[in-house]
């Protein structure tokens, strides 16, 4: 024991510091880059000496080498290390262990460094959802999920909840992601519309069960529920001045007693737009080519065709 103490006392003293420290915040399970500096009290050249990076709580250890010496200071190259998956604060060490360099023993020294690990961020969106849908009918929505670090999300589950928080169902993401700069994992989910007319807001929630921690994500999408359709309504959109069909005009048919449901579409190349709606009274509004058409009451009791003549709207005082 006494011999060991004497040996340590006779060894050259060293000091270690982290000159390219880990960032204050690290994403779980991703790499970070460090560079370590070691100096000898006697100004020794310690090139090829070993420096260790130790994360005790993560069971992690990696050795690197000192590669540069400027006459006073020894420095390692940039060293990539894999960060832990343990969330929260992590305290690691850069260690220059006791070792003999060029026939001279050098004492151990170390430098602690601290960083916080956060989970991967995810996002979810609804790419396609019909609006409105018929009361009590099944409808499909297309959902897409993304990880900030590009993780594989195949077969992870997305759950759907109504506006009262009741779970409605779930769908699993597909095995093949989208192609392109932004990688999304997608699924087509089948849901059943409520029986009552009105406007609804449902929520898709992603709760990943991956080995590396991920935050969940949610997305609320709105849609209207309409009565079962009884009739087909055709709107023929023409220019009032030329009587020529107007393609790609925006056509809106809304129940006169509004319950958060409106039917919208665009006219085809022949200027026609079609709707399947329940019997009742509706308002019709059409716009296109900088012109408009408005009919305050459309009574639908049978198959109906309406001619919408677009004209320049005369501005009213309340428009200014």
DSSP states of 131-177 = SSEETT-EEEEEEEEEETT----TT-EEEEE-TTS-EEEEEEPPSSP
Q: How confident is the model at residue 314 (pLDDT cuts 50, 70, 90)?
A: low
Q: How confident is the model at residue 258 (pLDDT cuts 50, 70, 90)?
A: confident
The CATH number given to 122-226 is 2.60.40.2470
Task: Tell me how far apart the alpha carbons of residues 138 and 142 are, in angstroms, rounded to a whole number.
Answer: 14
On the question of pLDDT at 226 being above 90, the answer is yes
Digit-coded pLDDT (tens) for 193-218: 999 999 999 999 999 999 999 999 99
CATH label, 2-118, candidates 3.40.50.300, 3.40.190.10, 2.60.40.10, 1.20.120.1080: 2.60.40.10
Digit-coded pLDDT (tens) for 85-111: 889 999 999 999 999 999 999 999 999
pLDDT value for 7: 56
Q: Is 21 helix (H, G, I), strand (E, B) or coil?
A: coil
Q: How confident is the model at residue 83 (pLDDT cuts 50, 70, 90)?
A: confident
% residues pLDDT > 90 (the chain): 81
**Half-sphere exposure of residue 136: CA atoms within 13 angstroms, side-chain side:** 5
Phi-psi region of 228 (alpha: psi -120 to 50; beta: other; left: phi over 0): beta
Q: Where are the domains of the chain?
A: 2-118, 122-226, 231-319
> Looking at domain 231-319, what is its CATH homologous superfamily?
Carboxypeptidase-like, regulatory domain (2.60.40.1120)
DSSP letter assigned to residue 56: G
Q: Do domains 2-118 and 122-226 have the same CATH topology?
A: yes
Phi, psi of 132 (to 5 degrees): -85, 180
Q: Which two tokens stand for residue 14?
A: 């060293």
On the question of pLDDT at 177 being above 60, the answer is yes
pTM of the model: 0.76
């Amino acid at each position: 024991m006494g011999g060991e103490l004497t040996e340590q006392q006779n060894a050259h003293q060293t000091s270690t510091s982290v000159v390219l420290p880990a960032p204050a915040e690290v994403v779980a399970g991703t790499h970070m880059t460090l560079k370590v500096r070691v100096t000898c009290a006697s100004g020794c050249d310690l090139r090829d000496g070993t420096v260790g990076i130790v994360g005790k709580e993560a069971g992690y250890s990696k050795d690197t080498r000192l590669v540069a010496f400027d006459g006073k200071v020894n420095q390692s190259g940039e060293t990539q290390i894999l960060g832990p998956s343990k969330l929260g604060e992590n305290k690691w060490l850069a260690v220059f262990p006791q070792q003999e360099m060029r026939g001279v023993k050098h004492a151990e020294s170390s430098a602690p460094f601290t960083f916080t690990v956060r989970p991967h961020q995810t996002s979810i969106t609804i790419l396609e959802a019909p609006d409105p849908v018929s009361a009590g009918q099944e409808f499909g929505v297309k959902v897409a999920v993304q990880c900030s670090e590009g993780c594989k999300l195949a077969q992870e589950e997305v759950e759907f909840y109504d506006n009262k928080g009741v779970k409605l169902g779930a769908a699993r993401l597909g095995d093949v992601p989208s192609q392109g700069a932004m990688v999304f994992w997608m699924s087509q989910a089948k849901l059943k519309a409520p029986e009552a007319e009105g406007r609804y807001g449902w929520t898709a929630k992603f709760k990943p069960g991956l080995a590396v921690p991920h935050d969940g994500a949610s997305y609320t999408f709105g849609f209207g529920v309409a009565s079962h359709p009884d009739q087909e309504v055709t709107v023929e959109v023409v220019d009032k001045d030329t009587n020529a069909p107007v393609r790609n005009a925006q056509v809106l048919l809304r129940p006169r007693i509004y319950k958060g449901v409106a039917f919208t579409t665009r006219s085809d190349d022949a200027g026609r737009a079609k709707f399947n709606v329940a019997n009742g009274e509706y308002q019709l509004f059409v716009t296109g080519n900088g012109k408009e058409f408005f009919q305050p009451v459309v009574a639908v009791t049978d198959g109906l065709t309406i001619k919408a003549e677009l004209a320049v709207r005369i501005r009213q005082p309340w428009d200014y």
